[in-house]
């Protein structure tokens, strides 16, 4: 019997961004030293390909942000102009050699620059 995968169905009500357990643990630890702060994710025009991710600590969401709660200790806001670019993105924390790196697994990316600093979407 062949193992068939069910195709993913786009859910416009799904959260714009999710986090893996490793990312949640990482950001809970970071926020533990940043009392009252939240994480804010946006994009900016950058690099040779188009966009770059911008991840900051903020005092609160900005007007129009999509506000998410990946855990009971994390509030994540996503800038309104970045929601469509980021919809479906999973934030992960991976180990590369001796370094921990925050990775964005964004299904909307169609190209990335060679240095990994910027990306484009369709």
For residue 5, tell me if it sits in a domain. no
For residue 65, tell me if it sits in a domain. yes
For residue 3, tell me if it sits in a domain. no
Query: By three-state DSSP, how is residue 27 classified?
Result: helix
Nearest to 24 by CA among 42, 39, 9: 39
Note the pLDDT tens digit of each residue in 18-72: 999 999 999 999 998 888 999 999 998 876 668 888 999 999 999 999 999 999 9
CATH number at residue 83: 2.60.300.12
- What is the structure's pLDDT at 12? 60
For residue 8, tell me if it sits in a domain. no
Tokens of 58: 């903020």
Strands of 17-19's sheet, edge to edge?
Answer: 17-19, 89-96, 99-105
Q: Angle CA(97)–CA(21)–CA(23) in degrees, nearest 5?
A: 55
Task: Indicate the pTM of the whole model.
Answer: 0.80
In which domain, by residue range, is 53 found? 17-29+37-121
Task: For residue 103, give every residue at least 6 positions away whose Cβ sits within 8 Å of its Cβ, in sequence order, or none.
Answer: 91, 92, 93, 94
Total of domains in the chain: 1
């Amino acid at each position: 019997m062949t193992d068939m995968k069910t195709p993913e169905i786009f859910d416009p009500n799904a959260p714009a961004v999710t986090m893996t357990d490793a990312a949640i643990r990482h950001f809970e630890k970071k926020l533990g030293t940043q009392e009252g702060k939240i994480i804010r994710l946006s994009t900016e025009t950058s690099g040779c390909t188009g966009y770059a991710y911008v991840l900051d600590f903020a005092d609160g969401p900005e007007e129009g942000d999509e506000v998410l709660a990946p855990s009971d200790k994390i509030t994540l806001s996503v800038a309104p102009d970045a929601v469509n670019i980021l919809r479906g993105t999973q934030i992960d924390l991976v180990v590369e050699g001796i370094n921990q790196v925050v990775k964005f697994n964004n299904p909307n990316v169609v190209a990335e620059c060679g240095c990994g600093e910027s990306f484009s979407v369709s």
